[in-house]
A and B are shown apart, each in its own frame.
Chain A
Amino acid sequence: MAPVRWVVGRVPERLAKPVHQSYLVDASPKEAVFRLSSIGRFLVRLGEPTVVQRACGATDVDIECLLRGPVSALRCCLDGQFALRGAAVDIGGRGLVIYGTAKGHSSLVAGLALAGHRIIADGVVVISEGSPHASAPPEAWPPRVTLWPDSVRALGIDPTTGTVVRSGLPSRSFALGAAPSPTPVAVKACIVLPIGYRGKSPDSVEVEPMPPSWRIQALLNAQWHPRVLRDLGMQGRHFQWLTGLAAKVPMVVLARKPRSISSTLPLMVNKAEEVLTWQE
């Protein structure tokens, strides 16, 4: 039986003595509150289910959506784990992590899953310290991939097999590909999707190794809750973590024109599979 991930209860608007306070998050070393007025308040304590005080009109689907995303990432912060905003896929036991400022992480992972690979995570990717391994946070297990209608069409997925992600949004989540691995997968490469493509053809993609000087910044930009980490005093440790990851794992930029998902996705999938064979 799956562990209880959340319970309904009273959640304070603010923590009594937070070390971090922002519009959406209060955090202290042992607990944190995430609040979004249209959905509710979430109290996160290590070792305990998340307590949820739902807003009027919020559904279980809305609650689950935040639990799988920012709230699970907040739990990672309290636990000292490193979580990236992105997605990850297991290709023959080798982990490929995808992040970056451009949209398309989920579509690419879905394309790879349909090619027979295993989804590791979508939205929050937990990466372990030392020898980097990728996994989904417990709240987002089993991993599903969230897709918008254009990607669903481009991938030839039956839209009726998807699950509503948020009330009123057209995106759906799907369980795709081979059964996910229950254990973390060793990260062997990272793909960064940047905004901006200088090429002329709308149907091609650019693939190039990421310059070492850009790697740290790209990882910093993809971190979940960086200001919470800073205020919890974990910035130094996480920076070491990032530099280690940047040094150990090949990082590749995959750029394409915006608005070209349907025409470039098959090529993106092929290139992503090739990246694991790159030797730096």
Chain B
Amino acid sequence: MAGMIVWLASYPKSGNTWLRAVYTSMRTGRDPDINALEGADVAADRGLFERVLGVRSSDMTVQEVEVLRPRADEAMVSEQSGDTWRKIHDGLFNGPTGEPIVSVKATRAALYVIRDPRDVAISMASHAHRTLAWAVERMGRRGASVSSSNSSLSDQLCQRLGSWSEHVLSWVDHSRFPIYVLRYEDCLAAPVPTFRAAFAGAGLQVSAKDVAAAVERSSWQRLRAQEDSVGFKEHVGGSRFFRQGVAGAWRTELPEALARQVETQHREVMARYGYLG
């Protein structure tokens, strides 16, 4: 196999796009073009799946697609000369044959971004143009999936997210390839050492100076300005994709009862990553 995949994994609205912006800027040495970020070939990309396997995914059952997704990863990397970084929002669950949804053979490593689920809920509600209560319920729903409607076809293949806790645990406790976990809050508080260590975790050695420059070029203000100026193709709903990019917004934006609900549902995982006191 010529190249391999580095997965940029996260529950939705957890900072994945920012990570990709910093990575893109570091690779190119320029301001990241938000509409041409590295890693945009999302793992559940329907078109890519169909192209590399030669099938029509809309004529296949969810189970058939899940069996074939690791094979699509392998077919894709066989066409690449170097490593490919790809975004993924699936939980790292096993498919019908007991094999993980991504190819272990084609995977070099994964970077998993974790974010305080109370802030995720705020961002998710805005992104989906839904209520905060909807977002909290969704994040607590065991076995939840997206792009799984029986009435319409999505641009992406069905993805099993699980609840927020199930999603985190599916990745961080996986042992068949290296997984480097980074907290979104650490990316904000100390971006250069955090991103640099994460890139090293994926086998990419870069200087602190280069990472600092990439972080500067990928500041939230710059990404927002770019979205306001030219639009962002990954923005599907709500007022804008790049909202605040801060940690702890839940303290003022999430009603007390919903914050407690999140803490109750995800206590174990939140405590493990330092989100409770």
Contacts and interface: CB of A to CB of B under 8 A. Distances in A.
Interface in A136-150: 146, 148-150
B156 to A, nearest CB: 9
B64 A221 contact: no
A23 B53 contact: yes
Interface in A25-40: 25, 36-38
A101 B47 contact: yes
Contacts of A85: 50-51, 56
A204 B71 CA distance: 37
Contact of B55 (A69, A102, A195, A197): A69
B234 interface: yes
B231 A170 contact: no
A198 interface: yes
A199 B231 CA distance: 6
A245 interface: no
Nearest to B55: A70
Interface string B157-177: 000000000000000000000
A151 B152 CA distance: 7
B205 interface: no
B151 A69 contact: no
B35 A70 contact: no
Contacts of B55: 24, 36, 69-70
B231 A225 contact: no
B54 A224 contact: yes
Given A70-B55, A148-B151, A198-B231, A258 B236 contact: yes
A224 B53 CA distance: 9
A171 B58 contact: yes
B68 interface: yes
A225 B75 CA distance: 12
> Most chain-A Cβ atoms within 10 A of its Cβ — which of B50, B58, B233?
B58
Contacts of B74: 23
B56 A69 contact: yes
A24 B46 contact: no
B154 interface: yes
A38 B65 CA distance: 11
Contacts of B53: 22-24
A151 B154 CA distance: 12
A28 B178 CA distance: 39
A146 B59 contact: yes
Contacts of A38: 61, 63-64
B54 A258 contact: no
B153 interface: yes
B231 A200 contact: yes
Contacts of B75: 22-23, 227
A169 B236 contact: no
Contact of A103 (B60, B154, B231, B233): B154
> Most chain-B Cβ atoms within 10 A of its Cβ — which of A23, A202, A222, A226?
A23
Contacts of B64: 36, 38
Given A103-B46, A103-B153, A227-B75, A197 B54 contact: no
Given A23-B68, A165-B59, A169-B61, A196 B54 contact: no
A228 interface: yes
Contacts of A148: 58, 151-153
Contacts of B61: 38, 166, 168-169
Contacts of A197: 231, 233
B236 A259 contact: yes
A68 to B, nearest CB: 9
B230 interface: yes
A58 B174 CA distance: 35
A221 B59 contact: no
A214 B55 CA distance: 24
Interface of B: 35, 45-47, 50-56, 58-61, 63-64, 67-68, 71, 74-75, 79, 150-155, 230-237
- Rank and list the top 9 A-B pairs by shortest CB-CB distance, nearest first: A198-B231, A196-B233, A101-B47, A150-B152, A149-B151, A23-B71, A225-B54, A69-B56, A148-B153
29 contacts: A23-B74, A24-B71, A36-B64, A66-B59, A70-B54, A85-B50, A85-B51, A101-B46, A101-B47, A101-B155, A103-B154, A146-B58, A146-B59, A166-B59, A166-B60, A166-B61, A169-B59, A170-B150, A195-B47, A195-B233, A196-B234, A197-B231, A198-B35, A198-B233, A222-B51, A226-B51, A227-B52, A227-B54, A258-B155
